[in-house]
Amino acid sequence: MLGQRDPGHYGTLTLVDIDQRIAEAADAHGVDVECFQSNHEGELIDCLQAQRGDIDGVVVNAGALTHYGLSLKDSLTDAGVPVIEVHLSNIHAREEWRRRSVLADTVRGQIAGLGWRGYTAAVGALAGIIADEAS
């Protein structure tokens, strides 16, 4: 629903637009990315489990699952790689229930409120973390 749902909070770019910008950021940092979106927690978990051992890091926007997705949290932890949590809007400046992330204590960091730029910032940060930990 990106580009259509509440553009004041989530912007006007579509998912395809954002995925393209993520790919460009990945190229600039010399890393490969695979973008995956689902409205179903189980599909997100299945994707993470299928990639286990083949990925070096994860950038995740868990949407509403941020606030209650304990199975997703477990799957991100089990992946055993650095994770950066991204939110298009500033969840800390919104409704009280949005301010709590069940993922927060398992991720390396959070980027919130930068719109689509949060994803490209996360790609750069994650590429740096992975490079630092490989050396």
Structure tokens at 61: 């926007």
Would you say 90 and 113 are in contact if contact means Cβ atoms under 8 Å apart?
Answer: yes
Task: Answer whether residue 2 is part of any domain.
Answer: no
- Identify the CATH number of the domain in which residue 34 sits: 3.40.50.9100
Whole-model pTM?
0.92
CA distances from 101 to 47, 76, 112 (A): 21, 13, 12
Task: Answer whether residue 1 is part of any domain.
Answer: no
Tens place of pLDDT per residue across the chain (135 aa): 777 777 777 878 899 999 999 999 999 999 999 999 999 999 999 999 999 999 999 999 999 999 999 999 999 999 999 999 999 999 999 989 989 999 999 999 999 999 999 999 999 999 999 999 998
Domain range spanning residue 60? Answer: 7-134
Task: Answer whether residue 120 is part of any domain.
Answer: yes
Task: Answer whether residue 81 is part of any domain.
Answer: yes
Number of domains forming the structure of the chain: 1
For position 27, what pLDDT does the model report? 98
Identify the CA nearest to 9 among candidates 116, 132, 119. 116
DSSP secondary structure, 20-72, as one string: HHHHHHHHHHT--------S-HHHHHHHHHHHTTT-S-EEE--GGGGGT-HHH
For position 30, what pLDDT does the model report? 97
Task: Answer whether residue 97 is part of any domain.
Answer: yes
Show which residues are catalytic. 10, 87
Structure tokens at 3: 């580009």
Task: Answer whether residue 67 is part of any domain.
Answer: yes
